[in-house]
Amino acid sequence: MIVEIYNSETRLDPFHELTHIVGRLLGDPPALLNEGFAVYASERLGSLPLRELGHPNRTIDQAVCDLSKANELLPLDQLFGYTEIGTNESRPRVAYAQAASVVKYLIDTTGLERFRQVYAQLRCSGEPRDVDVNRQDFERIVGLSVPAVERGWRQALSCAAGQ
């Protein structure tokens, strides 16, 4: 069940929540893909999806560059194992922006079809065996290891261009 909250104190992005509803028809992947895609799709639909997540008036790229410059980004291998983003322990201000940026990178570099395959194949689970299976399936479908994706993603960040 997803309930949207939008009031004077909390303003959840309707595009984000709609993406979760539609995405659930495809699969139940780890938070990196699930939340990352919801934030990415929200921005693609014209929203500034991180405004209520500590990055007002910032695009995904701008927020991630800010986090990179502040040396706050999470190791991708750590984010890959998250089952949720939102609790204080998950560092939501960082994790939402970073997950969206990684999703954007995956879609831009490997294509939407491979991203759909990864989204559908991987399962949200914190069990070490399941995380290992997810990593293997991810690497098989994407054709790159998680560390290789992280290196490519970090190199592709366009922070130097004033973003």
DSSP string, 82-135: -S-S-SGGG-HHHHHHHHHHHHHHHHHHH-HHHHHHHHHH------HHHHHHHH
> Residue 11's beta-bridge partner residues?
6
- How many other CB atoms sit within 10 Å of the CB of residue 67? 21
pLDDT at 8: 55
CA distance 26 to 19: 11
- From first to last of its 163 residues, the chain has per-residue pLDDT tens of 545 555 455 556 665 666 556 667 678 899 899 999 988 988 888 877 878 788 988 999 999 999 999 999 999 999 999 999 989 999 999 999 999 999 999 999 999 999 999 999 999 999 999 999 999 999 999 999 999 999 999 999 877 544 4
pLDDT at 12: 60
pLDDT at 21: 63
pLDDT at 161: 45
pLDDT at 136: 97
- How many other CB atoms sit within 10 Å of the CB of residue 147? 11
pLDDT at 162: 44
pLDDT at 18: 63
Question: Are 38 and 2 within 8 A, CB to CB?
Answer: no
Nearest residue to 35 (alpha-carbon basis) of 113, 87, 108, 112: 87
Q: In Å, what is the CA distance from 30 to each residue of 9, 66, 125, 128?
A: 28, 25, 7, 13
In this structure, what are the phi and psi dihedrals at residue 6, rounded to the nearest 5 degrees? -150, 105
CA distance 62 to 4: 26
pLDDT at 158: 74
